């Protein structure tokens, strides 16, 4: 796969309790960006937030494409703009904010859409929609706050990962070899370059290093996995490692000609806050931040390359869409871990409709999960690994998107019994928020 994944750049200006703040944006805001302003509802008669357009003039001054005037004493907000000839303030909406009191902390969120601005306010962890402004966004390059109790202006940017070639295989796979994942086949080195593994490290002489779970490389410093995979990793980060670029699972010194693995230390694990465990667990998603060595994490190559994250505006996979699964897990339900395959296995599956999947898994199938099945199936040991689908299923060179995280199922490879995967597209903001707030 190639092209678009999203990455977030976060620029944070942090000053406590400052009235007048300014955030200069190096490249003008574009659709997908979000501006977040942290403040406290003051007693002043008016506090304002203005978004300036550096390319449009308004009587010789930059146009103000969005102006938010908070009026704490009246408990109201006005939203308007000052653009064009005359440069007069034109109000677009006025709203009462009965849910906010003097002294309350609040967060204004301004999402930039292709059709205008979407303004929301968060008070006491509740988000209230205020207004969708159907206006030309222009070229916003400066954000200022005035006369209130403002503490931070943050801009988040979703940047296409095009340059990094996410989801792309370097070599076309020509050879079909048959063995199994369950019903899958031995992969070729480089066929699933986004495949990662969580391994127990060799921490003493009597306990061998071994495979624990699959994972998916999504950024040079980040892998995505299942929450149920990191139960034992949490608080014992140094006892585990993340391996990328791997093909042979065993560390027995053989097959060195094909070893391109990189072992990465774990800096921090992030388990979904709502994950509660169980045999068909909702919120089965976690992120692992890798430790940098000399300023960088994974060195991308033919063997290690991130998968694209689903782009909510582009990616959707219908029933029967063809996708691939991969992992070093069991090849049959009762296979002993010591007999798990040495070479990375991969196989084809098709997305199954929710309705069909429910006939097998019933109410255990919850929101945030999806099903896929076919000739191949994931099994124990594959958990946390990728279900990847080509963005354009008709185009052989289209980039692979990590659409699912191997989560659970009813045994493995049973007829008409699809495996269940965490639906990554339902967690995009969870993922991008964590990455943007924890990147350095």
* Positions marked active-site: 228, 284, 383
d(CA 82, CA 88): 5
Mark the segment that binds ligand 4AZ (CB under 6 A) among 97-105, 167-175, 285-293, 374-382: 374-382
Neighbours of 128 (CB within 10 A): 15
Size of the site for ligand 4AZ (CB under 6 A): 11
- 345, 380, 398, 425: which one contacts ligand 4AZ (CB under 6 A)? 380
Tokens describing residue 381? 């040991």
Which parts of 147-248 are beta strand (E)? 149-160, 185-186, 195-200, 210-219, 222-225, 240-244
Residue 378 interacts with ligand 4AZ (CB under 6 A)? yes
Paired residues of 143 in beta bridges: 23, 51
d(CA 30, CA 52): 14
Nearer to ligand 4AZ, 67 or 379 (CB): 379
d(CA 359, CA 279): 18
User: Could you give the strand order of the β-sheet that contains 6-18, starting from the edge strand earlier in sequence?
Assistant: 6-18, 149-160, 34-40, 105-113, 116-123, 126-133
Residues 226-255 that bind ligand 4AZ (CB under 6 A): none
Residue 216 interacts with ligand 4AZ (CB under 6 A)? no
Nearer to ligand 4AZ, 138 or 214 (CB): 214
Nearer to ligand 4AZ, 186 or 361 (CB): 361
d(CA 59, CA 65): 14
CB of 423 to ligand 4AZ, least distance (A): 15
Residue 383 interacts with ligand 4AZ (CB under 6 A)? yes
* Contact string 145-164 vs ligand 4AZ (x = CB under 6 A): --------------------
- 131, 275, 408, 427: which one contacts ligand 4AZ (CB under 6 A)? 408
- 382, 386, 401, 403: which one contacts ligand 4AZ (CB under 6 A)? 382
Q: What is the DSSP letter of 38?
A: E
Mark the segment that binds ligand 4AZ (CB under 6 A) among 3-11, 276-284, 313-321, 379-387: 379-387
- 161, 266, 379, 424: which one contacts ligand 4AZ (CB under 6 A)? 379
d(CA 256, CA 260): 8
d(CA 213, CA 337): 12
Task: Point out which residues bind ligand 4AZ (CB under 6 A).
Answer: 377-380, 382-383, 406, 408-409, 412, 419
């Amino acid at each position: 796969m190639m092209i678009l994944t999203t990455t977030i750049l976060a620029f944070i200006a942090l000053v406590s309790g400052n009235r007048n703040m300014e955030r200069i944006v190096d490249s003008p805001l574009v659709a997908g960006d979000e501006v977040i302003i942290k403040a406290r509802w003051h007693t002043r008669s008016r506090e304002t937030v203005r978004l300036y357009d550096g390319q449009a003039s308004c009587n010789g001054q930059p146009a103000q494409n969005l102006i938010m005037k908070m009026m704490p004493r009246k408990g109201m907000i006005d939203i308007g703009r000052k653009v064009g000839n005359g440069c007069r303030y034109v109000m677009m909406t006025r709203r009462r904010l009965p849910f906010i009191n003097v002294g309350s902390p609040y967060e204004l969120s301004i999402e930039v859409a292709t059709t205008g601005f979407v303004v929301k306010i968060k008070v006491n962890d509740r988000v209230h929609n205020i207004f969708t402004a159907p206006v030309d966004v222009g070229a916003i390059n400066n954000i200022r706050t005035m006369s209130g109790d403002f503490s931070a202006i943050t801009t988040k940017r979703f940047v296409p990962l095009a340059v990094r070639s996410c989801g792309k295989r370097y070599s076309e796979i020509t050879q079909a070899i048959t063995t199994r994942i369950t019903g899958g086949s031995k992969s070729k080195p480089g066929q699933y370059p986004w495949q990662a593994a969580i391994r127990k490290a060799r921490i003493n002489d009597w306990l061998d290093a071994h495979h624990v779970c699959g994972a998916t490389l999504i950024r040079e410093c980040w892998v995505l996995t299942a929450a149920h995979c990191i139960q034992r990793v949490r608080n014992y980060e140094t006892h585990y490692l993340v391996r990328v670029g791997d093909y042979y699972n065993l560390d027995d010194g053989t097959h060195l000609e094909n070893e391109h693995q990189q072992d990465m230390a774990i800096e921090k694990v992030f388990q979904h806050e709502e994950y509660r465990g169980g045999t068909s667990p909702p919120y089965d998603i976690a992120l692992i931040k890798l430790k940098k060595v000399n300023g960088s994490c994974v060195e991308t190559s033919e063997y290690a390359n991130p998968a694209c994250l689903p782009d909510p505006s582009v990616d959707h996979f219908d029933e029967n869409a063809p996708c691939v699964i991969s992992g070093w897990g069991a090849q049959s339900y009762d296979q002993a871990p010591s007999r798990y395959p040495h070479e990375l296995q991969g196989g084809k599956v098709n997305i199954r409709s929710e309705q069909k999947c429910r006939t097998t898994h019933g109410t255990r199938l919850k929101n945030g999960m999806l099903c896929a099945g076919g000739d191949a199936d994931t099994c124990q040991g594959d958990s946390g690994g990728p279900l990847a689908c080509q963005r354009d299923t008709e185009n052989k060179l289209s980039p692979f998107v990590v659409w699912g995280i191997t989560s659970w199922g009813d045994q493995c490879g049973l007829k008409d019994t699809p495996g269940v995967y965490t639906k990554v597209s339902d967690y995009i903001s969870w993922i991008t928020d964590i990455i943007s707030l924890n990147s350095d």
